[in-house]
Amino acid sequence: MSAVGILGANGRMGRALVSVAKEHQLPISAATVRAGSALIGMDSGELAGCGKLNLAFTETSLAAFALADIWIDFTMPEAMLEHLELAVQAKKALVIGVTGLTDSQYAAVQQAAEHIPIVWAPNMSVGVNLLLHLVETAAKVMGQTADIEIIEAHHRFKKDAPSGTAMAIGHQIAKALDRNLADVAVYGREGMTGERDQKTIGFATVRGGDIIGDHTALFADLGERLEITHKASSRSTFAQGAWRAALWLQNKQPGLYSMQQVLGLADLA
């Protein structure tokens, strides 16, 4: 079984990934933090709150990439780009759960995937990826007459809005309806907006407290409405999905893969 390393293992998701690895005895072989961090040398399991793991934090570097075959990255876009370059140099597979990417940053991921196998997804949750499959069906059945709204809620610390998952839901629905999301998305309403254009897809964003992540796709027609909702109560659900993606990447050829492929949902489309 391939050894897996965690980039930014001191972050919220990094700690969740370490904790899941210990709980399920997964093949974790490295846990890195940024250069100069005071955490270097500390046991990663102790910081994650899961007890001693006998795996100390090391500095993120090209040399560190030799410690694992597959790496998981839930850091920030700028850091992810640096990790992407190191992964290509070291010829290591990569699972990326970083959201809020610009077009140029996503293009860098696509370019790197010509050299190494990469799974990128705005959300690693099994349930969310099933939701993406379900909203496509709902859009095909109800989308021509229903008003479509996407509502998402996250913790106060989240830096991008709408969430990457909300945008993925929007793109999935727009694609099913043969619409361009950039042309039909509405990200806010205020004042005298006039009647709603049925072809638009609305987004509503909530930020507060410690909400892990809630997403609802609402199809509202005259006389009835359908709501497809996913609520995450623990970051471990994302960590478990990321680990599933990492182990799926073993022996894969270079390319950009999705969680739909990891979970076999692409075959059901």
**Residue 265, pLDDT score:** 82
CATH number for position 201? 3.30.360.10
| Domain extent for 248 | 4-120+235-268
Please state whether the predicted TM-score (pTM) of the whole model is above 0.85. Answer: no
What are the pLDDT digits (tens) for 220-247?
Answer: 999 999 999 999 999 899 999 999 999 9
Tell me: do 52 and 107 sit in the same domain: yes
Alpha-carbon span 186 to 117, nearest angstrom: 35
| Residue 1 · residue 25 · CB < 8 Å | no
236-248 vs 12-23: helix axis angle to the nearest 10? Answer: 70
Q: Is the pLDDT of residue 269 over 80?
A: no
Catalytic position from the list 24, 52, 155, 158: 158
Catalytic position from the list 83, 154, 171, 230: 154
Tell me: do 87 and 166 sit in the same domain: no
Tell me: do 145 and 225 sit in the same domain: yes
Alpha-carbon span 264 to 183, nearest angstrom: 31
Tell me: do 69 and 177 sit in the same domain: no
In which residue are the tokens 């907006």 written?
193
pLDDT level of residue 5 (50, 70, 90 thresholds): very high
Reference 105, options 65, 133, 126, 75; nearest CA is 75
Tell me: do 87 and 134 sit in the same domain: no
End-to-end Cα spacing for the chain = 30
Tell me: do 183 and 247 sit in the same domain: no
Mean pLDDT of all residues belonging to the chain? 95
Alpha-carbon span 172 to 181, nearest angstrom: 9
Under DSSP, the state recorded for 43 is B
Tell me: do 192 and 149 sit in the same domain: yes
Tell me: do 16 and 116 sit in the same domain: yes
Tell me: do 18 and 107 sit in the same domain: yes
154 is catalytic: yes
pLDDT level of residue 99 (50, 70, 90 thresholds): confident
For the chain, what is the domain count?
2
**Residue 267, pLDDT score:** 64
CATH number for position 29? 3.40.50.720
What are the pLDDT digits (tens) for 165-204?
Answer: 999 999 999 999 999 999 999 999 999 999 999 999 999 9
158 is catalytic: yes
Q: Is the pLDDT of residue 268 over 60?
A: no
